[in-house]
Chains A and B, each alone.
Chain A
Amino acid sequence: MSSQAAAVIGIGQTKHKKKRDDVSLPGLVREAAQRALDDAELNWTDIDAVVLGKAPDPFEGVMMPELSMADALGANGKPMMRVHTAGSVGGSTALVATHLVQTGVHDRVLTVAYEKQAEGNAQWGLAGGRSGGMGAGGIFAPWMRTYINKSGAPEDIGWKVAVKDRQNACKNPYAHLHLPDISIEKVKESPMLWDPIHFLESCPSSDGAVAMVLTNEAGAKKAPRKPAWVLGTAMRSELGTFPGRDTVRPQAGVECAHMVFDAAGITNPREQIDIAELYVPFSWYEPMWLEGHDIAGPGEGWRMVEDGSTQITGDFPVNPSGGVLSSNPIGASGMLRFAEAALQVRGEAGEHQVADAHVGLAQAYGGAAQYFAMWVVGSSLDAVGARK
């Protein structure tokens, strides 16, 4: 694939909250998109194509929302497409937009992802309307239990992740949950939803949207603010269920990580990556992905949580934005990881900025942990090479 550089030059997101009843679906996505355009100092007419993503339609009960959003997103007369890979969709959507730029098909692409969970009932949608739905937590809980059993992780690791991400969220004005008095005790004593996952170890249900403007090298040089350069992209999928599947460390996740590291020239992710935004809707997924993406060795992921390495001040900060545990507009949750990693390497993350962040990793996963999307972004095109 012939490829040229791509960069993020505009980022916008809404305040994520339980219910955005002040805006319609198109109003919500337009709010994020307008902020991204403002950040890039571009107009709707400067955009060549729009790539939209959201989770399954039954979550809101609005079928094919992309039809009615074409006008809200200024797509009249322009290419517009929707991407659909369950919970990872925000990540895949950003990557489709990136590839449209890298292949030279378009110069400036607007990519938007959203969910308006309060418009519908995601639990109903996940259950296909039938009684006895497992919920996402019900599918993932046994895999977390297996991780705990295999790795010998102490039970407070999950509680620590839950506290850390909520403390980080207090530094992010866009985050849904602001729980300044969160504590290990509170997490531990919150009701058990899906053993071993407590209520406060689970993501909230949010309304929200996020948007980015991507462009090529020429466009990035004209941008008013510092671009975030895309240094590597990767997507992988696998079957959601088959006998002998490693559900704790899905092969697609391992391969996706290696593909994105190779693309970015990363040989030692722990050392060469300054900040990671990983899709962690349930606390235990932080150590599981650190190991499942070969950032940490087997049984080492939980030790990174325990010794504080993944704190905002640690040597490998994970989810300084507060992550999915603090804001979960499902379709947007993956793209929020990508946008937050880009904000960090631009040095524009505000109060949750990680010091000297030059290389950022973002990851999203979806379905029964069967879709993966990742990118590595940098403060310059040689950000990885510039690292020791």
Chain B
Amino acid sequence: MTDTKQPDSKQDEAVDPNAPITGMDYFMKLEYHELICPVVREFADALMEKRLIGHKCPKCSLIYSPPRGYCPICTVQTTKADEIEMQTRGIVTNYTVVTPVQYYGQEETEPFAKVSLQLDGGGNLSLQDLPGVPVEQVRSGMRVEIVWAPDGERHVDDVTNRSWGSAEGAIRGWKPTGEPDADPSEYSDKVF
């Protein structure tokens, strides 16, 4: 059993090739330009300079990367004055291995991993890639460092107001540093 379609009830009938056509696929497409908010634009500009930035809330000290221009917990505004540059090394706090469903537009064919990171010195990123690391080797506690897209290839076209730190045009992913894994006490409460 290797397919990933959902289990059917035995009462669901099999498809009869001679049955009349009662439905057909109709694909829709919607293109639009999203205005990027200024703080996300600053995040994208910094990525082009191989820098990772965030905003540190002046009230509760939580670090938001990409910055949002406010802390939604404290409902206070954050500005350039609250900007911090984050380290580009960290710990994998958790991960998902996704078996891709073949919906229209899906380009992934093999299981792939997405990881959440706790960066050294503070700050978190979610939905990050570990290119070249076999999915069965992905684990919590791995120490990793950033792999920037090379100069000339780097772009931030995929950074949107809702991309939450996923920026594959600028960050190729993260690679294991080879150091011993972090102790769970360092990351077990930092799951995103």
Contacts and interface: CB of A to CB of B under 8 A. Distances in A.
B96 A241 contact: no
B6 A134 contact: no
Contacts of B97: 141, 192, 194-195
Given A18-B8, A124-B103, A204-B7, A131 B62 contact: no
B112 A194 contact: no
B126 interface: yes
Contacts of B100: 132-133
A220 interface: no
Query: How large, as a class, is the contact surface on chain A?
Result: 35 or more
A18 B11 CA distance: 9
A321 interface: no
B51 to A, nearest CB: 19
B11 A17 contact: yes
A129 interface: yes
Interface stretch (B39-47, B169-177, B184-192): B184-192
B104 A17 contact: no
B94 interface: yes
Tell me if A's interface is mostly helix, strand, loop or mixed: loop
A355 interface: no
Nearest to B127: A134
B22 A132 contact: no
A243 B122 CA distance: 10
Interface string A324-366: 0000000000000000000000000000000000000000000
A160 interface: no
A190 B26 CA distance: 32
Contacts of B101: 123, 133, 135
A130 B123 CA distance: 27
Interface residues of B, number: 47
A313 interface: no
A243 B63 contact: yes
Contact of B164 (A124, A141, A200, A241): A241
B1 interface: yes
Contacts of B123: 243
Interface stretch (A81-89, A143-151, A290-298, A302-310): A143-151
Contacts of A203: 6
B96 A139 contact: yes
B191 A143 contact: yes
B18 interface: no
A127 interface: yes
B103 A127 contact: yes
B12 A241 contact: no
Interface string A146-165: 10011000000000000000
Contacts of B107: 131-132
A54 interface: no
B6 A18 contact: yes
Interface string B91-108: 000111111110111111
Contact of A242 (B9, B72, B104, B112): B72
Interface stretch (A25-33, A244-252, A263-271): A244-252
A177 B7 CA distance: 8
Nearest to A204: B6
B55 to A, nearest CB: 11
Contacts of A135: 98, 101
Contact of B28 (A61, A146, A179, A194): A61
B33 interface: no
Nearest to B94: A142
A188 interface: no
Interface in A184-208: 190-195, 199-200, 202-205
Interface in B114-165: 114, 116, 123-124, 126-127, 140, 164
Interface string B71-106: 011000000000000000000001111111101111
A191 B6 contact: no
B4 A191 contact: yes
A19 B188 contact: no
Given A132-B112, A142-B116, A243-B192, 9 more contacts: A123-B101, A133-B100, A134-B114, A145-B140, A149-B188, A204-B6, A204-B8, A239-B72, A242-B73
